[in-house]
């Protein structure tokens, strides 16, 4: 059973920084895509950043230059370093994974963490 567990959310003042972590647990051989989405109250869940196993990254325009995604494939973890946070970054941040290869199968499906709340005060 694969699970994604996020950590690192919290309350920060505008201009501050946070670092989110997400660990994928289970007997995992590899994960094709890992990343982060976020959802503010009353809004849709939007992409923040993704990184595939080869290292290619994709960022939402709103976070380019401020957020950095990284992976530790040996630990099946993904991180999101968030700098110069702004109130509009306030949201629940969800860890995302796709294409998890396990001992039993390689599933071309989405996995989601339960989310971690990031609140940025002005």
Strands 116-121, 10-13: parallel, antiparallel or unpaired by DSSP?
parallel
CA–CA dist 40, 60 (Å, integer): 15
Q: pLDDT, tens digit, for every residue of 103-113?
A: 888 778 899 99
Q: How wide is the angle at C-alpha 120 spanned by C-alphas 114 and 122, nearest 5°?
A: 160
Residue with tokens 């099946």: 76
Q: pLDDT, tens digit, for every residue of 15-57?
A: 999 999 999 999 999 999 999 999 999 999 999 999 999 999 9
Mean pLDDT of 73-77: 95
DSSP letter assigned to residue 103:
S
User: Do residues 52 and 58 touch, judged by C-beta distance below 8 A?
Assistant: no
CA–CA dist 121, 15 (Å, integer): 9
């Amino acid at each position: 059973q694969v699970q994604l567990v996020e950590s690192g959310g919290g309350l920060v003042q505008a201009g501050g920084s946070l670092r989110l972590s997400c660990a994928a647990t289970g007997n995992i051989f590899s994960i094709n895509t890992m990343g982060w989405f976020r959802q503010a109250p009353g809004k849709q869940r939007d992409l923040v950043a993704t990184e595939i196993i080869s290292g290619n990254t994709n960022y939402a325009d709103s976070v380019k230059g401020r957020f950095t995604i990284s992976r530790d494939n040996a630990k099946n973890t993904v991180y999101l370093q968030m700098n110069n946070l702004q109130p509009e970054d306030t949201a629940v941040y969800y860890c995302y994974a796709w294409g998890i290869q396990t001992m039993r199968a390689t599933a071309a499906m989405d996995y989601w963490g339960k989310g971690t709340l990031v609140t940025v005060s002005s």
